[in-house]
Amino acid sequence: MKLITHNILMCNKKGCTKNNFPLRLVVKQYADYEADNAQEYSANLMTRLLEKLDWNALKITVATLPDWGIALPDAVTPELAKDEAFLQSLHMLLVRRQIIDGEMVCPNCERSYEIKNGIANMLLQEDEV
Amino acid sequence: MKKSKKQRGEGETTKKLSTFKLKSFITFLSQVAQFPDPKIDLEQYMTPPDIAANLFSILHQDEDSIENKRIADFCSGTGMYSCASTYFNPLSITGFEIDPEAIEVAQENVLSMEIADRVDFINCDILKIVENNPKLHGLFDTVVMNPPFGTKNNEGIDMKLLSAAITCCKGKVFSLHKESTSAYIQKYVKEQHPGLEAELMHKIEFDLPNTYKFHKKKSATTEVVLVKIDVSKREVRKVTEMLGAQKLE
Protein backbone atom coordinates (compact mmCIF):
# COMPACT_ATOMS: atom_id res chain seq x y z
CA MET A 1 0.00 0.00 0.00
CA LYS A 2 1.31 3.39 -0.95
CA LEU A 3 1.03 6.68 0.90
CA ILE A 4 -1.25 8.07 -1.81
CA THR A 5 -3.77 5.43 -0.72
CA HIS A 6 -3.39 6.25 2.97
CA ASN A 7 -4.01 9.83 1.85
CA ILE A 8 -7.62 9.04 0.84
CA LEU A 9 -8.69 6.83 3.74
CA MET A 10 -10.63 7.95 6.78
CA CYS A 11 -12.37 6.19 9.65
CA ASN A 12 -15.73 4.73 8.57
CA LYS A 13 -16.97 3.59 11.92
CA LYS A 14 -20.55 4.52 12.72
CA GLY A 15 -20.75 7.86 14.50
CA CYS A 16 -17.08 8.69 13.93
CA THR A 17 -17.36 11.70 11.68
CA LYS A 18 -15.03 14.31 13.14
CA ASN A 19 -11.25 14.41 13.48
CA ASN A 20 -11.14 11.03 11.68
CA PHE A 21 -8.51 11.99 9.11
CA PRO A 22 -5.67 11.40 8.48
CA LEU A 23 -5.46 8.00 10.12
CA ARG A 24 -2.33 7.65 12.25
CA LEU A 25 0.01 5.42 10.30
CA VAL A 26 2.03 2.80 12.17
CA VAL A 27 4.57 1.09 9.93
CA LYS A 28 5.94 -2.29 10.96
CA GLN A 29 7.46 -3.17 7.61
CA TYR A 30 7.97 -1.30 4.36
CA ALA A 31 9.83 -1.92 1.12
CA ASP A 32 11.21 0.42 -1.51
CA TYR A 33 11.05 -0.52 -5.14
CA GLU A 34 14.15 0.10 -7.20
CA ALA A 35 13.70 3.02 -9.59
CA ASP A 36 14.06 0.60 -12.54
CA ASN A 37 11.22 -1.63 -11.38
CA ALA A 38 8.77 1.03 -10.28
CA GLN A 39 6.47 3.31 -12.21
CA GLU A 40 8.86 5.51 -14.14
CA TYR A 41 9.64 8.95 -12.83
CA SER A 42 8.50 11.91 -14.85
CA ALA A 43 7.80 15.48 -13.84
CA ASN A 44 4.34 15.08 -15.38
CA LEU A 45 3.58 12.01 -13.23
CA MET A 46 4.56 13.90 -10.10
CA THR A 47 2.53 16.98 -11.05
CA ARG A 48 -0.54 14.84 -11.65
CA LEU A 49 -0.07 12.99 -8.35
CA LEU A 50 0.32 16.26 -6.46
CA GLU A 51 -2.91 17.64 -7.94
CA LYS A 52 -5.03 15.21 -5.95
CA LEU A 53 -2.90 14.94 -2.86
CA ASP A 54 -3.94 16.25 0.55
CA TRP A 55 -0.53 17.72 1.23
CA ASN A 56 -1.19 18.60 4.84
CA ALA A 57 -2.31 15.03 5.63
CA LEU A 58 0.84 13.67 4.00
CA LYS A 59 3.03 16.10 5.90
CA ILE A 60 1.44 15.24 9.27
CA THR A 61 1.76 11.52 8.54
CA VAL A 62 5.40 11.62 7.51
CA ALA A 63 6.20 13.74 10.58
CA THR A 64 4.95 10.89 12.80
CA LEU A 65 7.46 8.50 11.20
CA PRO A 66 10.77 9.95 12.43
CA ASP A 67 12.82 6.89 11.49
CA TRP A 68 12.07 7.62 7.84
CA GLY A 69 14.11 10.80 8.24
CA ILE A 70 11.92 12.82 5.90
CA ALA A 71 10.75 16.35 6.67
CA LEU A 72 8.29 17.81 4.21
CA PRO A 73 7.81 21.54 3.64
CA ASP A 74 4.57 23.22 4.73
CA ALA A 75 3.41 23.65 1.18
CA VAL A 76 4.49 22.84 -2.36
CA THR A 77 5.37 26.23 -3.76
CA PRO A 78 5.45 26.72 -7.56
CA GLU A 79 9.27 26.74 -7.31
CA LEU A 80 9.32 23.42 -5.45
CA ALA A 81 6.90 21.90 -7.96
CA LYS A 82 9.61 22.44 -10.61
CA ASP A 83 12.50 21.34 -8.41
CA GLU A 84 13.85 18.09 -9.84
CA ALA A 85 15.51 16.91 -6.61
CA PHE A 86 12.34 17.56 -4.61
CA LEU A 87 10.16 15.73 -7.14
CA GLN A 88 12.60 12.80 -7.20
CA SER A 89 12.39 12.49 -3.42
CA LEU A 90 8.59 12.60 -3.65
CA HIS A 91 8.72 9.86 -6.30
CA MET A 92 10.61 7.75 -3.79
CA LEU A 93 8.05 8.49 -1.07
CA LEU A 94 4.80 8.26 -3.07
CA VAL A 95 5.54 5.80 -5.86
CA ARG A 96 8.38 3.53 -4.79
CA ARG A 97 7.69 3.10 -1.09
CA GLN A 98 5.26 0.31 -0.18
CA ILE A 99 3.88 -0.26 3.29
CA ILE A 100 3.75 -4.02 3.79
CA ASP A 101 2.68 -4.40 7.41
CA GLY A 102 1.30 -1.98 9.93
CA GLU A 103 -1.90 -0.32 10.96
CA MET A 104 -3.87 2.89 10.60
CA VAL A 105 -5.42 4.24 13.77
CA CYS A 106 -8.28 6.72 13.89
CA PRO A 107 -7.18 9.86 15.79
CA ASN A 108 -10.75 10.26 17.06
CA CYS A 109 -12.11 6.83 18.08
CA GLU A 110 -8.83 4.84 18.13
CA ARG A 111 -10.26 2.19 15.78
CA SER A 112 -7.32 0.39 14.21
CA TYR A 113 -7.31 -0.71 10.57
CA GLU A 114 -4.74 -3.36 9.79
CA ILE A 115 -2.35 -3.33 6.86
CA LYS A 116 -1.22 -6.85 6.14
CA ASN A 117 0.70 -8.15 3.15
CA GLY A 118 0.30 -4.68 1.62
CA ILE A 119 -3.51 -4.77 1.82
CA ALA A 120 -5.45 -2.18 3.80
CA ASN A 121 -8.31 -3.75 5.73
CA MET A 122 -11.12 -1.20 6.09
CA LEU A 123 -13.83 -3.79 6.77
CA LEU A 124 -16.07 -3.03 9.73
CA GLN A 125 -17.78 -5.38 12.14
CA GLU A 126 -21.57 -5.53 12.14
CA ASP A 127 -21.87 -3.42 15.29
CA GLU A 128 -19.68 -0.69 13.74
CA VAL A 129 -21.86 0.13 10.75
CA MET B 1 -30.99 10.30 -27.25
CA LYS B 2 -27.89 8.98 -28.90
CA LYS B 3 -27.36 5.30 -28.55
CA SER B 4 -24.51 3.25 -29.77
CA LYS B 5 -24.80 -0.45 -29.65
CA LYS B 6 -22.15 -2.51 -31.28
CA GLN B 7 -21.90 -6.22 -31.56
CA ARG B 8 -18.61 -7.63 -30.50
CA GLY B 9 -16.21 -7.93 -33.40
CA GLU B 10 -18.18 -5.51 -35.52
CA GLY B 11 -16.28 -2.41 -34.53
CA GLU B 12 -14.93 -1.38 -37.90
CA THR B 13 -14.51 2.20 -36.73
CA THR B 14 -12.58 0.98 -33.68
CA LYS B 15 -8.88 1.77 -33.65
CA LYS B 16 -7.49 -1.51 -32.42
CA LEU B 17 -4.24 -2.70 -30.96
CA SER B 18 -2.11 -4.60 -33.41
CA THR B 19 -2.90 -8.31 -33.37
CA PHE B 20 0.50 -8.98 -31.88
CA LYS B 21 0.10 -6.48 -29.07
CA LEU B 22 -3.38 -7.76 -28.29
CA LYS B 23 -2.05 -11.30 -28.14
CA SER B 24 0.69 -10.35 -25.69
CA PHE B 25 -1.89 -8.45 -23.65
CA ILE B 26 -4.06 -11.58 -23.45
CA THR B 27 -1.01 -13.67 -22.50
CA PHE B 28 -0.18 -11.14 -19.78
CA LEU B 29 -3.72 -11.32 -18.39
CA SER B 30 -3.72 -15.13 -18.52
CA GLN B 31 -1.52 -14.96 -15.43
CA VAL B 32 -4.38 -13.57 -13.35
CA ALA B 33 -5.49 -16.41 -11.09
CA GLN B 34 -9.20 -17.15 -10.67
CA PHE B 35 -11.29 -17.31 -7.52
CA PRO B 36 -10.22 -20.63 -6.00
CA ASP B 37 -13.65 -21.17 -4.49
CA PRO B 38 -16.22 -18.71 -5.88
CA LYS B 39 -18.79 -17.51 -3.36
CA ILE B 40 -22.36 -17.75 -4.57
CA ASP B 41 -23.66 -14.83 -2.52
CA LEU B 42 -21.03 -12.51 -4.01
CA GLU B 43 -21.67 -13.83 -7.54
CA GLN B 44 -17.95 -14.13 -8.13
CA TYR B 45 -16.77 -14.84 -11.63
CA MET B 46 -13.77 -13.51 -13.44
CA THR B 47 -13.82 -11.79 -16.81
CA PRO B 48 -11.87 -14.10 -19.15
CA PRO B 49 -8.46 -12.70 -20.21
CA ASP B 50 -9.38 -12.32 -23.90
CA ILE B 51 -12.53 -10.34 -23.11
CA ALA B 52 -10.70 -8.20 -20.55
CA ALA B 53 -7.91 -7.48 -23.06
CA ASN B 54 -10.39 -6.39 -25.72
CA LEU B 55 -12.33 -4.33 -23.22
CA PHE B 56 -9.31 -2.44 -21.94
CA SER B 57 -7.95 -1.90 -25.45
CA ILE B 58 -11.20 -0.05 -26.12
CA LEU B 59 -10.99 1.92 -22.86
CA HIS B 60 -7.44 2.93 -23.71
CA GLN B 61 -7.60 3.61 -27.44
CA ASP B 62 -11.16 4.77 -28.05
CA GLU B 63 -11.98 6.30 -24.70
CA ASP B 64 -8.57 7.58 -23.55
CA SER B 65 -9.56 6.52 -20.04
CA ILE B 66 -6.48 4.67 -18.76
CA GLU B 67 -3.19 6.36 -19.58
CA ASN B 68 -2.22 9.00 -17.03
CA LYS B 69 -5.56 8.53 -15.25
CA ARG B 70 -6.34 7.84 -11.64
CA ILE B 71 -8.33 4.61 -11.77
CA ALA B 72 -10.63 2.85 -9.33
CA ASP B 73 -11.56 -0.81 -9.79
CA PHE B 74 -14.78 -1.49 -7.88
CA CYS B 75 -15.47 -5.13 -6.94
CA SER B 76 -11.92 -5.87 -8.01
CA GLY B 77 -12.15 -9.59 -7.20
CA THR B 78 -8.89 -11.31 -8.04
CA GLY B 79 -7.68 -8.19 -9.83
CA MET B 80 -8.35 -8.77 -13.54
CA TYR B 81 -9.32 -5.15 -14.31
CA SER B 82 -6.60 -3.69 -12.08
CA CYS B 83 -4.01 -5.82 -13.85
CA ALA B 84 -5.42 -4.88 -17.25
CA SER B 85 -5.22 -1.19 -16.33
CA THR B 86 -1.49 -1.43 -15.56
CA TYR B 87 -0.87 -2.23 -19.23
CA PHE B 88 -1.50 1.35 -20.37
CA ASN B 89 0.49 3.35 -17.86
CA PRO B 90 -2.15 4.90 -15.61
CA LEU B 91 -1.41 7.42 -12.86
CA SER B 92 -2.58 5.06 -10.12
CA ILE B 93 -4.94 2.12 -9.59
CA THR B 94 -6.98 1.39 -6.47
CA GLY B 95 -8.90 -1.86 -6.20
CA PHE B 96 -11.85 -2.08 -3.81
CA GLU B 97 -13.09 -5.53 -2.79
CA ILE B 98 -15.21 -6.85 0.07
CA ASP B 99 -13.96 -10.47 0.06
CA PRO B 100 -10.65 -10.92 1.96
CA GLU B 101 -9.91 -14.21 0.21
CA ALA B 102 -10.36 -12.72 -3.25
CA ILE B 103 -8.16 -9.76 -2.38
CA GLU B 104 -5.39 -12.06 -1.17
CA VAL B 105 -5.44 -13.85 -4.52
CA ALA B 106 -5.41 -10.43 -6.22
CA GLN B 107 -2.35 -9.38 -4.23
CA GLU B 108 -0.57 -12.63 -5.10
CA ASN B 109 -1.45 -11.99 -8.74
CA VAL B 110 0.08 -8.50 -8.87
CA LEU B 111 3.14 -9.71 -6.95
CA SER B 112 3.84 -12.59 -9.32
CA MET B 113 3.14 -10.37 -12.34
CA GLU B 114 5.55 -7.79 -10.88
CA ILE B 115 3.05 -4.96 -10.93
CA ALA B 116 2.38 -4.77 -7.19
CA ASP B 117 3.75 -1.22 -7.03
CA ARG B 118 1.07 -0.07 -9.49
CA VAL B 119 -2.00 -1.35 -7.68
CA ASP B 120 -3.24 -0.84 -4.11
CA PHE B 121 -6.07 -3.05 -2.91
CA ILE B 122 -8.44 -1.94 -0.17
CA ASN B 123 -10.53 -4.56 1.60
CA CYS B 124 -13.84 -2.81 2.30
CA ASP B 125 -17.56 -2.60 1.76
CA ILE B 126 -17.58 -0.10 -1.11
CA LEU B 127 -21.10 1.15 -0.39
CA LYS B 128 -20.21 1.96 3.21
CA ILE B 129 -16.83 3.53 2.49
CA VAL B 130 -18.23 5.73 -0.28
CA GLU B 131 -21.11 6.85 1.90
CA ASN B 132 -18.82 7.79 4.80
CA ASN B 133 -15.73 9.07 3.05
CA PRO B 134 -16.15 12.35 1.13
CA LYS B 135 -12.45 12.20 0.16
CA LEU B 136 -13.41 9.59 -2.43
CA HIS B 137 -16.12 11.68 -4.05
CA GLY B 138 -15.12 12.85 -7.52
CA LEU B 139 -11.58 11.56 -6.90
CA PHE B 140 -11.08 9.13 -9.78
CA ASP B 141 -10.77 9.94 -13.47
CA THR B 142 -12.03 6.49 -14.38
CA VAL B 143 -14.01 3.88 -12.46
CA VAL B 144 -14.14 0.37 -13.92
CA MET B 145 -16.42 -2.21 -12.44
CA ASN B 146 -17.69 -5.74 -12.86
CA PRO B 147 -20.38 -5.77 -10.17
CA PRO B 148 -22.50 -8.72 -9.07
CA PHE B 149 -25.57 -8.75 -11.30
CA GLY B 150 -27.85 -8.63 -8.30
CA THR B 151 -29.67 -11.83 -9.01
CA LYS B 152 -28.90 -14.12 -6.09
CA ASN B 153 -30.74 -12.64 -3.10
CA ASN B 154 -28.80 -9.53 -3.85
CA GLU B 155 -31.33 -7.52 -5.76
CA GLY B 156 -30.44 -3.92 -6.53
CA ILE B 157 -26.78 -4.23 -5.48
CA ASP B 158 -25.62 -3.55 -9.06
CA MET B 159 -27.53 -0.24 -9.14
CA LYS B 160 -26.23 0.83 -5.72
CA LEU B 161 -22.68 0.11 -6.83
CA LEU B 162 -23.24 2.02 -10.05
CA SER B 163 -24.36 5.04 -8.03
CA ALA B 164 -21.29 4.72 -5.79
CA ALA B 165 -19.07 4.58 -8.89
CA ILE B 166 -20.69 7.73 -10.29
CA THR B 167 -20.17 9.47 -6.93
CA CYS B 168 -16.44 8.68 -6.90
CA CYS B 169 -15.82 9.57 -10.53
CA LYS B 170 -15.13 12.81 -12.34
CA GLY B 171 -14.46 11.28 -15.75
CA LYS B 172 -16.04 8.10 -17.04
CA VAL B 173 -17.56 5.04 -15.38
CA PHE B 174 -17.40 1.73 -17.24
CA SER B 175 -19.49 -1.08 -15.83
CA LEU B 176 -20.60 -4.52 -16.98
CA HIS B 177 -24.24 -5.47 -16.61
CA LYS B 178 -26.65 -8.13 -17.68
CA GLU B 179 -28.03 -7.21 -21.08
CA SER B 180 -31.58 -7.87 -19.92
CA THR B 181 -31.29 -5.04 -17.36
CA SER B 182 -30.01 -2.39 -19.79
CA ALA B 183 -33.31 -0.53 -20.20
CA TYR B 184 -33.67 -0.40 -16.43
CA ILE B 185 -30.11 0.90 -16.01
CA GLN B 186 -30.75 3.73 -18.46
CA LYS B 187 -33.94 4.70 -16.64
CA TYR B 188 -32.24 4.43 -13.25
CA VAL B 189 -29.27 6.64 -14.19
CA LYS B 190 -31.55 9.26 -15.75
CA GLU B 191 -33.72 9.41 -12.62
CA GLN B 192 -31.05 9.12 -9.92
CA HIS B 193 -28.36 11.20 -11.58
CA PRO B 194 -30.00 14.03 -13.52
CA GLY B 195 -27.91 15.19 -16.44
CA LEU B 196 -26.20 11.85 -16.89
CA GLU B 197 -27.01 9.03 -19.21
CA ALA B 198 -25.98 5.41 -19.45
CA GLU B 199 -24.66 4.59 -22.87
CA LEU B 200 -24.74 0.96 -23.99
CA MET B 201 -21.44 0.30 -25.71
CA HIS B 202 -20.59 -3.30 -26.47
CA LYS B 203 -22.48 -6.49 -26.09
CA ILE B 204 -20.38 -9.39 -24.88
CA GLU B 205 -21.19 -13.04 -24.47
CA PHE B 206 -19.85 -14.52 -21.29
CA ASP B 207 -19.34 -18.22 -21.02
CA LEU B 208 -19.61 -19.16 -17.40
CA PRO B 209 -18.24 -22.68 -17.44
CA ASN B 210 -19.24 -24.47 -14.27
CA THR B 211 -18.36 -21.56 -12.04
CA TYR B 212 -20.92 -22.73 -9.57
CA LYS B 213 -21.79 -26.30 -8.81
CA PHE B 214 -25.53 -25.63 -8.99
CA HIS B 215 -25.32 -24.72 -12.67
CA LYS B 216 -27.08 -27.60 -14.38
CA LYS B 217 -25.57 -27.15 -17.81
CA LYS B 218 -21.87 -27.62 -18.42
CA SER B 219 -21.56 -24.03 -19.48
CA ALA B 220 -24.07 -21.21 -19.43
CA THR B 221 -23.92 -18.15 -21.65
CA THR B 222 -24.85 -14.78 -20.28
CA GLU B 223 -25.37 -11.70 -22.41
CA VAL B 224 -23.49 -8.82 -20.87
CA VAL B 225 -23.32 -5.20 -21.94
CA LEU B 226 -20.61 -2.63 -21.28
CA VAL B 227 -22.22 0.51 -19.92
CA LYS B 228 -20.50 3.89 -20.07
CA ILE B 229 -21.49 6.91 -18.04
CA ASP B 230 -19.64 10.10 -18.84
CA VAL B 231 -19.71 11.84 -15.46
CA SER B 232 -17.84 14.90 -16.74
CA LYS B 233 -21.10 15.85 -18.48
CA ARG B 234 -22.63 16.43 -15.06
CA GLU B 235 -20.25 19.31 -14.39
CA VAL B 236 -20.93 20.93 -17.74
CA ARG B 237 -24.63 20.66 -17.07
CA LYS B 238 -24.33 22.31 -13.67
CA VAL B 239 -22.44 25.25 -15.14
CA THR B 240 -24.86 25.73 -18.02
CA GLU B 241 -27.81 25.60 -15.66
CA MET B 242 -26.18 28.19 -13.47
CA LEU B 243 -25.75 30.45 -16.47
CA GLY B 244 -29.40 29.96 -17.33
CA ALA B 245 -28.51 28.47 -20.67
CA GLN B 246 -30.62 25.95 -22.49
CA LYS B 247 -30.53 22.40 -21.29
CA LEU B 248 -27.98 20.20 -22.96
CA GLU B 249 -29.51 17.47 -24.98
Choosing among B86, B132, B142, which should be mutated to test the A contact, i.e. which has the most A CBs within 10 A? B132
In this predicted structure, the answer to whether residue B3 has a pLDDT above a threshold of 60 is no
- The per-residue pLDDT for range A46-70, each reduced to its tens digit, is 999 998 899 999 999 999 998 998 8
In this predicted structure, the answer to whether residue B56 has a pLDDT above a threshold of 50 is yes
- The per-residue pLDDT for range B139-184, each reduced to its tens digit, is 999 999 999 877 666 778 999 999 999 999 999 999 999 899 999 9
Rounded average pLDDT over B238-243: 57
- Residue with the larger pLDDT of the pair B234 and B183: B183
Distances (CA, A) of B82 to A101, B46, B120: 22, 12, 9
Please name the member of A9, A33, A45 whose beta carbon is closest to the beta carbon of B91. Answer: A45
**pLDDT, position B154:** 74
- Residue with the larger pLDDT of the pair B60 and B12: B60
The domain tally of chain A equals: 1
- The per-residue pLDDT for range B199-231, each reduced to its tens digit, is 999 888 877 655 555 555 555 678 899 999 999
Distances (CA, A) of A118 to A62, A97, B110: 18, 11, 11
Chain B: nearest CA to A93, how far in angstroms?
A: 12
Please name the member of A4, A33, A119 whose beta carbon is closest to the beta carbon of B103. Answer: A119
CATH of region B5-248 = 3.40.50.150
Sheet (strand B70-74) strand order: A24-32, A97-105, A112-116, A119-121, B119-123, B92-97, B70-74, B140-145, B169-178, B219-230, B198-209, B6-7
Contacts from A79-86 at CB under 8 Å and sequence distance 24+?
Answer: A81/A47, A81/A50, A82/A43, A84/A43
Rounded distance between C-alpha atoms, residue B127 and residue B114, angstroms: 30
Average pLDDT, chain B: 85
**Residues on chain A touching B117 (C-beta within 8 angstroms):** 2, 33, 37-39, 95-96, 98
Distance between start and end Cα atoms, chain B: 8
Across the interface, whether the CB atoms of A12 and B129 are under 8 A apart is answered yes
**pLDDT, position B29:** 97
Tell which residue, A105, A106, A73, has the closest CA to residue A89: A73
pTM of the entire structure?
A: 0.89
In this predicted structure, the answer to whether residue B243 has a pLDDT above a threshold of 90 is no
| CATH of residue A26 | 2.20.25.10
DSSP-derived secondary structure letter, B246: P
- Quick check: ipTM above 0.85? yes
Residue ranges per structural domain of chain B: 5-248
DSSP-derived secondary structure letter, A94: I
Q: Which residues contact B164 (CB under 8 A, 6 or more apart)?
A: B74, B126, B127, B130, B131
Rounded average pLDDT over A107-119: 97
**pLDDT, position A37:** 85
Rounded distance between C-alpha atoms, residue B63 and residue B228, angstroms: 10
Tell which residue, B163, B175, B169, B172, has the closest CA to residue B140: B169
Rounded average pLDDT over A15-44: 93
> Taking an 8 Å Cβ-Cβ cutoff, which residues of chain B contact chain A?
68, 70, 89, 91-92, 94, 98, 100, 103-104, 107, 114, 116-118, 120-125, 128-129, 132-133, 135-136, 139
Across the interface, whether the CB atoms of B91 and A122 are under 8 A apart is answered no
Rounded average pLDDT over A81-108: 95
How many CB pairs below 8 Å do chains A and B form together? 82
In this predicted structure, the answer to whether residue B112 has a pLDDT above a threshold of 50 is yes
**pLDDT, position B135:** 95
Helix axes B182-192, B157-168, angle to 10 degrees: 50
- Residue with the larger pLDDT of the pair A72 and B42: A72
**pLDDT, position B172:** 98
Please give the residue range of the domain that contains residue A97.
3-128
Share of chain B above pLDDT 90, in %: 64
